[in-house]
Amino acid sequence: MNQLATFSSRPANADDITSAFETQLRAQHSRRASFDRKARVEQLDRLADAIKRNADEIIAACAADFRKPAEEVKLTEIFPVLQEIRHTKHHLKAWMRPKRARATLGVFGTRAQVRPEAKGVCLIIAPWNYPVNLALGPLVSALAAGNSAIIKPSEMTPNASRVIRDIVDEAFTPDLVKVIEGEAAVSQQLLSLPFDHIFFTGSPAVGKIVMEAAAKNLASVTLELGGKSPTIVGPNAHIKKAARNIVWGKFANNGQTCIAPDHVFVHRDISPRFKAAIQAEIRRVYGRTPEAQKATPDYCRIVNQRHFERLRNLIEDAQAKGASILQGGQTDASQNFIAPTLIAEVSDDMAITQEELFGPILPIIDYVDIDKVIDRINANPKPLALYIFDKSKSFADDIIARTSSGAVGVNLTVVHFLHPNLPFGGANNSGIGAAHGEYGFKTFSHEKAVLEEKHSITHMLFPPYTGFVRRLINIVVRVLG
């Protein structure tokens, strides 16, 4: 771990970035016809093999960057990418197959199909919270669709960035996949280039910058963003199950998860029992005291001092404005440690209710009227995820029908990210576009319409517009319009 921590990223300069882009652009033009399914599967196999060979290095890098437990690295960094590769290889033939489009009477005598083709040279900008997963997962979809890609990993996790670079260098030639490291200036230089598609994972604020830059080159974008994902614990919830799932979804990765529960609305009738259950679950999983929680190898750390200070300020602001700490609140700046923290009696004037928390802080809000909870959710930007806990299916269905979010989890949290047949993405402020499985393949593909003349009579409608042609056009409009 200490050896890894001595490494730093190798920031690229403007010439390096332009050269890498132009190299891929030339190669993409030449390989467009030859990068068939067999070649794509071969590249996916190379990626899978490189990940497996570097599994120990991935684990050590994440530990060095923010003390991420090995088990969490395996489950949330390595497994999702390997599953994505396996799933993609199994279905790629069907996804690549041209789809027939049935003719209507207006185009009778033609044959139509939709052919997926590679968009071209793609840019993947990955975040720091799941650095390996969110860099290499989109790469699987990009390669499956026949693209080349430049990956910009986050400079905030330099050890993971180095391992990503090593995996890519080991598996691919730079004309197909290349890692470019550096800070914000490198991202700005990359965004100035005319990529065919940009896949960005990060905050809504930076997502707007990416979208603005992409518009200058009319590049298509996928934005995987975030927001304040609400959780509703209904009056008939299975309390122990709700506490177990919320604690895991919230405090894994130290709360630094874009789809983690941001805050919990709990029905007043069960609130005391739920609060007791969630406190007991925190003690069971992470330790009974702050000292035990700091000592456990199962609890991650905040990624850097800046984010640690931001979260500590949120806690202090809430306390100063009347919130009460149900559990946690202890911090240690020397380790960027914040204990799993439950906060009650929050109000709208607190920063904790306005900002995406992205850390191990969970406000718990009592409610009586579910309509008011739904109104409150709908008054805010659409969240990336919404979680509902209740034994009543009609209770959950009503909330789903009356709210909008990127995804919904019923009696679970976060797990929908691991489902390869579900689209993963947000809505408006929480994201644009989708990832994973066939949805990821389509994200990196252009669906090309191909229409072939067989026995068409549309030429009979061409000018000159004689009396016969005019009568024929009138019939077509009247009968087929």
User: Which sequence positions are flagged as catalytic?
Assistant: 224, 258
Which residues are CB-neighbours of 262 under 8 A, at least 6 positions away? 227, 228, 229, 230, 231, 356, 357, 383
HSE value, Cβ hemisphere, 13 Å, CA-based, for 281: 21
**Taking Cα atoms as reference points, which of 263, 287, 235 lies closest to residue 342?**
263
| Residue 55: CB atoms within 10 Å | 17
CB-neighbour burial class of residue 111 (10 A; exposed 0-12, middle 13-18, buried 19+)? middle
Torsion, CA 106, CA 108, CA 114, CA 119, rounded to 10: -60
Q: What is the DSSP string of 58-75?
A: HHHHHHHHH---HHHHII
Which residues are CB-neighbours of 208 under 8 A, at least 6 positions away? none
Tokens of 206: 């930076």
CB 149 within 8 A of CB 122: yes
Residues 284, 288: Cα–Cα separation, whole Å: 7
HSE value, Cβ hemisphere, 13 Å, CA-based, for 437: 11
Instruction: Count the residues in the chain.
Output: 481
